[in-house]
Structure 1
Amino acid sequence: MAQMNMLHAINEALSIEMEKNQSMIVFGEDVGHFGGVFRATSGLQEKFGKERCFNTPLTEQGIAGFANGYAAAGLTAVAEIQFADYIFPAFDQIVNESAKFRYRSGNQFDVGGLTFRTPYGGGIAGGHYHSQSPEAYFTQTPGLKVVVPRNPEQAKGLLLAAMRDPNPVVFFEPKRLYRASVGEVPEGDYEIELGKAEVVKQGTDITVLAWGAQMEIVENACKKAEKEGISCEIIDLRSLAPWDVDTVAASVKKTGRLLINHEAPLTGGFAGEIAATIQQECFLYLESPISRVCGLDTPYPLIHEKEYMPDEHKTYEAIKASVGF
């Protein structure tokens, strides 16, 4: 085990796979010698050369189009979109080409060696063009996998699994944790299975579900609730597409309650899909309505970032309301 932050863990995962897979390339805006805006790719160009880690023009649609073409040849492409807010110019290429390539070719061709990495979320005073959480847009696209890690250990194992998965993966990285999250990470190569949630803490009174940077938020809220005698079961969803219905449903059948927390706006957020599925699976077990603690239905604000965030205080109050229903 080694102590590292999330950036170091991501960089190490990229380096491990580039060593093992000679066809793998890493590219995006400023990812070469500069190492990207957040330095996630630092040192890769020096180690593997300019042909395998290089800068692209500032065109997300072009990045995604090139990634599709490279991966369609059976090679491994890891494309960085500098901020998740910038992924929208590439949206057509990702949802209409990457996601459908295998299907429309009758499984004769695919872009399974394709991973899009992109930093998402707020907490860095980035305002409305550098703080969005657009994961839900991609979860309704068959053919894509969507993954969000919560800490360095998870980031390394999930990214290695994503790069080796036979399907295109959109890998959202919580940028406010890049340097803030430090922890023990296994040395060397390991994978964490995609599509599987993790029960981080056992409990009996309420299931609290989140992913990415919001995991720290819900853990803090649950600590406050525990002081009042409320036993919280905490689940990190990790993969949003596909998502682990069985693990979440089993937990809710035990606790009788569910709270879902995510940073994206409430309307159309992935919490709605989870709530609809769990009420269908667990209707007779529910002791209170499923609760959603999410971002506001506004553009991400700059000066009102604190008010926008679904923080531990909002989550704590929602836990109490659910248990006291």
Structure 2
Amino acid sequence: MKKPGMTKRKKQGTRGMAVFLGAALFCTSGVAVSAKGNSLEDVIQKTADYETGIVTDPTVASIGGEWTVMSLARGEASLPDDYFEKYRANVEKYLKENDGILSEYKYTEYSRVVLALKSIGVDSTDIGGYDVQKPLEDFDTVTAQGLNGAVFALLALNADDPEQNKDGELEQKYLSYILEQEKPDGGFSLDDNADQSDVDMTAMTLQCLEPYQDQQEVEEIIEKGIQILSAGQEEDGGYVAYGSDSSESVSQVILTLSTYGIDCNEDERFIKDGKGLYDILMEYQQKDGGFSHTLDGETDGMATDQAFCALVSYERFKDGKNSFYNMTDHR
């Protein structure tokens, strides 16, 4: 049964997105344009230019590394011809210099690299003779990081072929673990001991559940989670995390909504004070093309990486393409 306001993917997993610069938006002949005349394509290209200008030699890194590579690979922005090969070569070099070890205990490092490699069509099981995906078979070490570890492991394992991979024994084990972490209010939290959910972890958890949305239990969790993301908005439409406004929270919600075919700038559940979530995110963009963490802040690496992912995800939704993490249509 399909719930109102939620568009299920086709079996191949299509999605898309559209972004505009400025608070006031209008559409002409189906092309999204901002009040300043900037199209979605222009906004993404400006962010891509900033990222490739700062991250000129992409390598293994939580900021300015894999997330930059993924956003560029999943989008259509122009970039240096050798950018992805440079990243692949740097990953191989890093592995050789560190005996194939990305981390002894933080296995989200492996998940992140696997996702980036799959986004550019590189076999993550053989990079210079190293299998970057194999550590994700270590369920206990992955889940030692809690829900965050399991969510990104499941995203990484399913990314290249969710229809083929999702029912594997390991994937099902992670799925069961994740579903067990649901909080009483229906959402999820980074803090395993918390009684209530938080916006960021709820959004990220919903992203990894996409391949399983045909299951009634999962479908109900997704729908409850989306309602929580709506209810969590402030009166001005933004989100507060750890006591301050947060562009990263806005970005994660946009990515989630795009995954499930919900327009973050048109769905009435996410319109607050006359603005949609895309409008809100654009308030954080700086003149250099990057994004700030807070409204009064300066360009921030993590905020820019997450905003870039959100923009590309929204564009993919608008264009009817696979979701951000369904990489069967990789570069």
Between structures 1 and 2, the one with greater strand share: 1
Relative to the length of structure 2, the TM-score reads 0.25
Relative to the length of structure 1, the TM-score reads 0.26
Of structures 1 and 2, the larger Rg is shown by: 1
Between structures 1 and 2, the one with greater helix share: 2
Specify which structure has the bigger relative contact order, considering alpha-carbon pairs within 8 angstroms and separated by 6 or more residues: 2
